[in-house]
């Protein structure tokens, strides 16, 4: 579920781990010639990988970042995808001190996708870039600050290990259809990565009238019954998500989910209305915003934000495995 039109650019940079750049590359690729009206659409045939032009040394006028720094960053961001290939084409000095423009050619080794160019600006701190209309983390350890933030503040109910060596934090909204769809993937992650700590953080969107209330109920269920009760409650709420569309339906849906978790609906409803509970939900929302998360569902893997709505389980799993490998974490 999108928060604004700006999310599209963020999604490119973060799913898998740099979707905005991917989208730019696709937009800049030449359009395919139109098919004749009567002609059937041919199946794509494997072709040779693209051949990028040799970089011109004259196009490397900035002192920072180096070509190696950009390559290392892209390897971290894109290395989970064995079919992706790229070449740093330009690193140009700009009129702004410390700001450089980077141009990268991106292609697919199978040759099935047309290559394109992407561009971004690196900032003087060496830790951020501007891609599209988003500021994105950059550098040798682009996800380290976000990882530390989550280790300190991701306090929602969790499945798996108490250890935070492999920390996955799901930001979700109980009234978001895409979040409901992703729950099967989240359950499979818990099976495939038993050494991971998989945390649920509520991120109720303002356009969903029942989302904040559902999040507050979830806080109280976890407080009263622990993580197991919470995930029973959450599963029931997602299953009955259509009932959240009206005020009466939301009350029935939430109370039913509480009962399925083995708790007293009246007690949980009273808890959900307290200022302390509302403050806990607000703190979870603030954490998401501090991580620059603009859409749900988003899974943050050791600090690496991955918008997972619509992503295949195989792709999500590859990113988890790759990030764990980068961090030297056993799975």
Beta bridge partners of 129: 122, 136
pLDDT the model gives residue 3? 41
Q: How far apart are CA 209 and CA 246, in angstroms?
A: 8
- Burial string for 90-102 (b: 16+ CB within 10 Å, else e) reads bbeeeeeeebbbb
For residue 30, the Cα-to-chain-centroid distance in whole angstroms is: 28
Select from 210, 274, 13, 36 the least CA-distant residue to 118: 13
Which range (13-22, 172-181, 317-326) has the least confidence?
Answer: 13-22
Whether 214 and 252 have beta carbons less than 8 Å apart is answered as no
Q: Do the domain assignments include residue 45? A: no
Percent of the chain with pLDDT over 70: 86
63 token code pair: 């002192």
**207 and 76 fall within a common domain:** no
pLDDT the model gives residue 13? 42
Q: Is the pLDDT of residue 272 over 90?
A: yes
DSSP 125-176: TSSEEEETTEEEE-SSSTTHHHHHHHHHH--S-EEE-S--SSEEEEEE-TT-
pLDDT the model gives residue 133? 86
Which range (8-12, 78-82, 125-129, 316-320) has the least confidence?
Answer: 8-12
Select from 101, 70, 64 the least CA-distant residue to 88: 70
Whether 89 and 52 have beta carbons less than 8 Å apart is answered as yes
pLDDT the model gives residue 113? 85
Exposed, middle or buried by CB within 10 Å (0-12, 13-18, 19+), for 45? exposed
Query: What range does the domain containing 174 cover?
Result: 145-326
Q: Is the pLDDT of residue 20 over 60?
A: no
Q: Do the domain assignments include residue 291? A: yes
**300 and 192 fall within a common domain:** yes
pLDDT the model gives residue 42? 56
**280 and 321 fall within a common domain:** yes
Q: Do the domain assignments include residue 2? A: no
**201 and 251 fall within a common domain:** yes
**126 and 183 fall within a common domain:** no
Whether 147 and 302 have beta carbons less than 8 Å apart is answered as yes
Q: What is the CATH number of the domain that holds 274?
A: 3.40.30.10
**151 and 137 fall within a common domain:** no
For residue 151, the Cα-to-chain-centroid distance in whole angstroms is: 17
pLDDT tens-digit series, residues 173-184: 999 999 999 999
Q: How far apart are CA 130 and CA 118, in angstroms?
A: 12
- If you average pLDDT over residues 163-186, what whole number do you get? 98
**237 and 170 fall within a common domain:** yes
- Determine how β-strand 84-93 pairs with β-strand 167-172: unpaired
Domain count for the chain: 2
- Determine how β-strand 167-172 pairs with β-strand 197-202: parallel
Query: Helix crossing, 265-272 with 247-260: angle to 10°?
Result: 120
Which among 74, 106, 141 is the end of a domain? 141
Which range (16-25, 129-138, 243-252) has the least confidence?
Answer: 16-25
Which among 107, 141, 175 is the end of a domain? 141
Distances (CA, A) of 40 to 30, 53, 101: 21, 34, 43
**297 and 174 fall within a common domain:** yes
Phi, psi of 160 (to 5 degrees): 95, -145
pLDDT tens-digit series, residues 96-143: 999 999 999 999 999 888 899 999 999 999 999 999 888 999 999 999
39 token code pair: 């002609």
Q: Do the domain assignments include residue 40? A: no
What does R_g of the chain's alpha carbons equal in angstroms?
22
Which range (1-15, 97-111, 159-173, 215-229) has the least confidence?
Answer: 1-15
Q: What is the DSSP letter of 295?
A: B
* Residue matched to tokens 């561009």: 119
**274 and 170 fall within a common domain:** yes
Q: What is the pTM of this model?
A: 0.86
Beta bridge partners of 172: 202
**85 and 106 fall within a common domain:** yes
pLDDT the model gives residue 47? 76
**261 and 149 fall within a common domain:** yes
């Amino acid at each position: 579920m999108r928060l604004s039109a700006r999310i599209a650019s963020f999604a490119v940079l973060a799913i898998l781990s740099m979707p905005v750049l991917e989208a730019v590359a696709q937009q800049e690729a030449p359009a395919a010639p139109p098919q004749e009206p009567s002609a059937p659409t041919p199946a794509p045939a494997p072709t040779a990988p693209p051949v990028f032009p040799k970089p011109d040394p004259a196009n490397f006028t900035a002192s920072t970042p180096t070509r190696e720094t950009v390559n290392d960053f892209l390897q971290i961001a894109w290395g989970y995808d064995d079919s992706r290939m790229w070449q740093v084409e330009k690193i140009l000095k700009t009129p702004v001190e410390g700001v450089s423009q980077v141009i990268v050619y991106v292609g697919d080794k199978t040759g099935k996708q047309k290559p394109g160019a992407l561009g971004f600006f690196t900032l003087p701190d060496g830790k951020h870039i501007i891609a599209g209309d988003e500021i994105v983390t950059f550098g040798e350890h682009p996800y380290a600050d976000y990882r530390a933030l989550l280790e300190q503040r991701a306090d929602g109910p969790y499945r798996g290990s108490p250890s935070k060596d492999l920390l996955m934090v799901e930001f979700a909204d109980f009234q978001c259809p895409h979040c409901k769809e992703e729950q099967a993937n989240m359950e499979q992650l818990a099976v495939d990565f038993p050494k991971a700590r998989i945390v649920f953080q509520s991120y109720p969107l303002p356009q969903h009238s029942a989302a904040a209330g559902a999040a507050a109920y979830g806080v109280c269920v976890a407080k009263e019954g622990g993580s197991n009760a919470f995930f029973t409650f959450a599963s029931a709420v997602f299953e009955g998500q259509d009932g959240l569309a009206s005020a009466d339906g939301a009350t029935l849906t939430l109370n039913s989910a509480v009962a399925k978790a083995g708790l007293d609906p009246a007690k949980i409803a009273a808890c959900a209305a307290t200022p302390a509970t509302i403050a806990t939900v607000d703190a979870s929302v603030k954490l998401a915003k501090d991580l620059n998360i603009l859409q749900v569902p988003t899974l943050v893997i050791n600090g690496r934000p991955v918008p997972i709505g619509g992503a295949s389980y195989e792709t999500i799993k590859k990113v988890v495995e790759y990030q764990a490998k980068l961090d030297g974490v056993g799975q």
